Amino acid sequence: MKFLRRLHLYLGCFFAPMLLFFSISGIWQVYGLQWGSAPNWFTYLSTIHMGHQLFWKDPTKAYSLSSSYLEFFVVLMAASLVISIILGIIMAFKFGRGTLALASLAGGVIVPLVLILLFAHKVS
């Protein structure tokens, strides 16, 4: 268990900057903040998250971000997130209260499902 805790810790620390970036840029993209009157750096950073191009100062000149190295790193980051989440759940049951951990886990499944069912609407 000590090894799993250490693995969870270091995977989280290594990938935390990119996970934060993708999470935060995903938030402003949900609300469309990267377009319109948004600061240029919103649009610039959104190009990294949304596509495989990077626009630097001149929107007519795009630099390709589609490299197998970056794609491998993003896949590795996603896999690490999955592993880290699973390790976190295991540690919650091992070191926390099992019933509270189970209730929290169930809530994390039930709340989004209820929101989807209550607020889903047909797209015309």
Q: Is the pTM of this model over 0.95?
A: no
Q: What is the pLDDT of residues 47-69, one digit of tens each?
A: 666 665 655 556 566 666 667 78
Q: Is 41 exposed, middle or buried (0-12, 13-18, 19+ CB in 10 A)?
A: exposed
Q: What is the pLDDT of residues 5-27, one digit of tens each?
A: 888 888 888 888 888 888 877 77
Q: Is 22 exposed, middle or buried (0-12, 13-18, 19+ CB in 10 A)?
A: middle
